[in-house]
Structure 1
């Protein structure tokens, strides 16, 4: 079932995902943070990268570049963004296809774009200043290449972890406004509430109605089965909406 889980930990240690993903099997999609290496290695997880993160680095490089005068060439960062944009255009075109057909279309349409982009990155990695944002963006993308292209191997996978990014955004905005989120206990409390709200939304249930339902019935839950009955996909709210 669709689940959005927020988990707070005061550390960014590799021990955190190792503990959190204990027993999990499947695919882990992340940015390039090395803290995920160990859990993928020890749990045998397939790891793929996120093109949103790679593209963002080129966008930052483009914004930092001097203002272009009319008639001047576009920056290398802008060229890279244009090439990456082609990958997203392909995804938009095939988004409603079944996974098997998506895989085939990615091999046929996206792979040539990826090959062209990689050749361009390798060629231009020596043509920009080593301390520039563009150089850093190029190196990040090349270093993550095998992970970034992993989505092409399975139509069930996504080109980016934009779903997680979208779920994180309200949390990141809210923590600047709410005083209870500035302590470890407050962070854990808000993570719990956000998990319930976003999971309700992911299952097509209005969050306020769901929280109201949970608070009305959680006090009578005596066994694990009683708690599981309050999960979004098991509630009467879900059945009413489907009806």
Structure 2
């Protein structure tokens, strides 16, 4: 079971390909059987997935994003489902709390889904400009601020300009990329520094560059056709300016959402091979396995060894001690036991 799960969700081998590989050595396991096994295993591991997501929501800052995937229907054709991802990783600001990632699956991209996922969260959410997140920041009826504070992403803003440059030369887009690159250069020098130090350097070096960039973007935008791609690229950070500069006020925050985009790479690679999700239950199971495997990767834990041990023991384990199986705790316990045996 551990081998099947790791092959699918770490090494991106779809069930039918694994079935063919096994048949070559005389082991006949139908792909539908593998899929059913995986859903049953997901049921067994679900409490651990919930505990993992609860740990992420305890952080003062989390990163959020989503990615589409084809979802097969029951005789109704396919549609576009979505994996939502939430990441806790504060190592760039000197906080060595274990990083963790959690995925959720939905049949559409409605804003109700992140609202449900983060219903009890209080803190910073670093995400792109997707309108579906808006209800997280303000009450739709009263417009009063909520306990989740929006933080923008300069990588998304930069991408608007690089997309233009890929199609045709543009001095304005080129200068925008250079100006944004100067902001990222500041971040490279303070990676891993404590929050107070990061804030101090950003206030002295990044804030003047940001103010100059704001004035420059406003000037360029006034001379452009309002429906041009270049004007839209200029307006993207201007329309979100307070969220875009918020990272300068708190050293725990990041200049971009690149950390969570890295966490989505496994899904993007796997999607090219398995191509679709067969059902809602299949998507929910996949989200759980991506959460567990992704957290193993973030903590340097060998995923097949972890899944093997957890699958063997979790069924008879005390529910109030389930945190023992969180990858970083499991790794620490394993190292401790290995040292005792060596002694």
TM-score, normalised to structure 1's length? 0.90
Contact 1:205 1:238 (8 Å CA) reproduced: no
The residue aligned with 2:184 is 88
1:30 to 127, 130, 152: 127
Comparing 141-150 with 79-88, greater Cα deviation is found at 141-150
Q: CA deviation at 1:241?
A: 4.3
Give the distance between the partners of 1:62 and 1:45, measured in 2 at CA. 35
In the alignment, structure 1 residue 208 sits paired with structure 2 residue 311: no
Give the distance between the partners of 1:206 and 1:188, measured in 2 at CA. 23
Coordinate RMSD, CA, aligned: 1.8
The residue aligned with 2:279 is 183
In the alignment, structure 1 residue 232 sits paired with structure 2 residue 327: yes
Q: CA deviation at 1:5?
A: 0.4
Q: Deviations over 1:74-125 (max 9, x none)?
A: 5211100000000000000111321101101000000111011111100000
The residue aligned with 2:116 is 19
Instruction: Say how many residue pairs are matched.
Output: 234
Give the distance between the partners of 2:276 and 2:166, measured in 1 at CA. 35
What are the equivalent positions in structure 2 for 1:64-213 lying under 5 Å apart? 64-66=167-169, 75-178=171-274, 181-213=277-309
Give the distance between the partners of 1:41 and 1:238, measured in 2 at CA. 41
Q: CA deviation at 1:180?
A: 6.1
Provide closer, same or farther for how the CA distance between residues 182 and 85 of structure 1 changes in structure 2, counting only shifts above 3 A.
Answer: farther
Contact 1:180 1:187 (8 Å CA) reproduced: no
The residue aligned with 2:148 is 45
Q: Deviations over 1:10-66 (max 9, x none)?
A: 122222111101211111111111111112224421111111111111110111225
- Give the match's secondary structure for 1:177: helix
TM-score, normalised to structure 2's length? 0.64
The residue aligned with 1:63 is 166
- Give the match's secondary structure for 2:104: coil
Give the distance between the partners of 2:278 and 2:223, measured in 1 at CA. 45
Query: Structure 1: any 5+ residue segments left out of the alignment?
Result: 67-73
Contact 1:60 1:133 (8 Å CA) reproduced: no
Give the distance between the partners of 2:207 and 2:128, measured in 1 at CA. 21
Query: Structure 2: any 5+ residue segments left out of the alignment?
Result: 1-97, 140-145
Comparing 30-39 with 98-107, greater Cα deviation is found at 30-39
Q: CA deviation at 1:182?
A: 4.3
